[in-house]
Amino acid sequence: MPRKNRRAPRTPGYILPRDGSTFIGTQEMEGPSWTHGEMYCVRQIGAAAAVKFYVCPRCNQNISPGVAHVVAWPRDSGRGVDDRRHWHRHCWERR
């Protein structure tokens, strides 16, 4: 009896490139309320892993290197991790 594998490649967007440790800790979860319940893949970026400037799509402010933040992308967009955005933690979580 084959074991049920929840990472089965049914959703193309969930196949992630094997580029090492950056994908450890990616969680599949329902987005905050403003996403209207869309399923997201979410990764917590620690301060040490934040080495570039990003622009948060919610507040249009920079996320500076060294600032712990959240990377998230819609699980079912079909573009997968290519659709990822970097968000301030408080912007991701606020309503």
Please give the residue ranges that form the binding site for Zn ion (CB under 5 A).
56, 58-59, 88, 91
| CB of residue 73 to Zn ion, shortest distance in Å | 16
CA pair distance 29, 55, nearest whole angstrom: 23
Q: Which of 33, 13, 16 is nearest to 25 (CA)?
A: 16
| CB of residue 6 to Zn ion, shortest distance in Å | 31
- Strand-pair partners of 41: 28, 73
Query: Which of 58, 85 has the CB closer to Zn ion?
Result: 58
| CB of residue 10 to Zn ion, shortest distance in Å | 32
